Amino acid sequence: MIRTVAAPWRTVIVTAALLALGALVAETRAEAPRERMTVERLNTLILAVDENATKLREHQWVLTVSDLALVVIADPANDRMRILSHVVSADQASPELLIRIMQANFDTALDARYAIAQGVIWSAYIHPLGSLEDDQFLSGVGQTANLVRTFGETFYSGAMTFRGGDSQGLIERQLIEELLLKGERI
């Protein structure tokens, strides 16, 4: 067997070419515009999470996650999207509980939040529609469901805990991981 040794200049040229190609690919990826989230893509993601999801009306769906009903509302004209789930009636909330959910909004609720509207405490994830990524939507579904599931206990969305707050939640990451896996399948 004859063994050849590459001339040093060949190694330099090949290395330089590979580095240039890598930089070109990275630059092309950085410049390639990401497709905006559409109502059609959102519908595909919703059906990946719950194949029995129901379209309530144009741009509104209800789906079930961990035995919880979640409503997704898209408003393409105003570039908004919401995921909502009913937690409890607001009149059941003591002043101490309201303070506790505000603390959770600071450090353990993270991207989803507790909110009050129409006499109800909601779990809500709100995001601009156009810049919404698949994994952000799926994580938002999980966080919204987790805030309902952990209400009155840890008030934890499952994403992470922001240090410096008053909450010391337990990690509820499993649901978010399961939803992200569903998104990888489509």
Residue 24 maps to a domain? no
Q: Are 115 and 121 in contact (CB under 8 A)?
A: yes
Residue 151: inside a domain: yes
Query: pLDDT by residue (tens digit) across 52-89?
Result: 999 999 999 999 999 999 999 999 999 999 999 999 99
Is 9 inside a domain boundary? no
CA 61/CA 85 separation, integer angstroms:
12
CA–CA separation, 143 and 122 (whole Å): 12
pLDDT at 181: 85
Q: What is the pLDDT of residue 143?
A: 94
Residue 3 belongs to some domain of the structure: no
Count how many domains the chain has.
1
**Residue 40 pLDDT greater than 50, yes or no:** yes
Segment 156-170 mean pLDDT: 61
- Which residue, among 82, 150, 88, has the nearest Cα to 119 in the 3D structure? 88
117-145 residue pLDDT tens: 999 999 999 999 999 999 999 999 999 99
Identify whether 113 is part of a domain: yes
Identify any residues that bridge with 64 across adjacent strands, giving them in sequence order.
69
Q: How confident is the model at residue 108 (pLDDT cuts 50, 70, 90)?
A: confident
Query: Quick one: pLDDT band at residue 35, thresholds 50, 70, 90?
Result: confident
Q: State how far Cα 160 lies from the chain centre.
A: 12
Tokens 């999980």 correspond to 142
Instruction: Give the CATH number of the domain where residue 169 resides.
Output: 3.30.1460.10
> Could you tell me if residue 94 is inside a domain?
yes
Mean pLDDT of the chain: 81
In a domain, 161, yes or no: yes
Residue 15 inside a domain? The answer is no
pTM above 0.75, yes or no: no
Q: What is the reported pLDDT for 154? A: 86
Q: How far is CA 33 from the centre of its chain?
A: 20
Provide the pLDDT confidence category of residue 10 given band limits of 50, 70 and 90.
Answer: very low
Is residue 182 left, alpha or beta, with left meaning phi > 0 and alpha meaning psi from -120 to 50? alpha
User: Domain containing 49: what range?
Assistant: 39-184
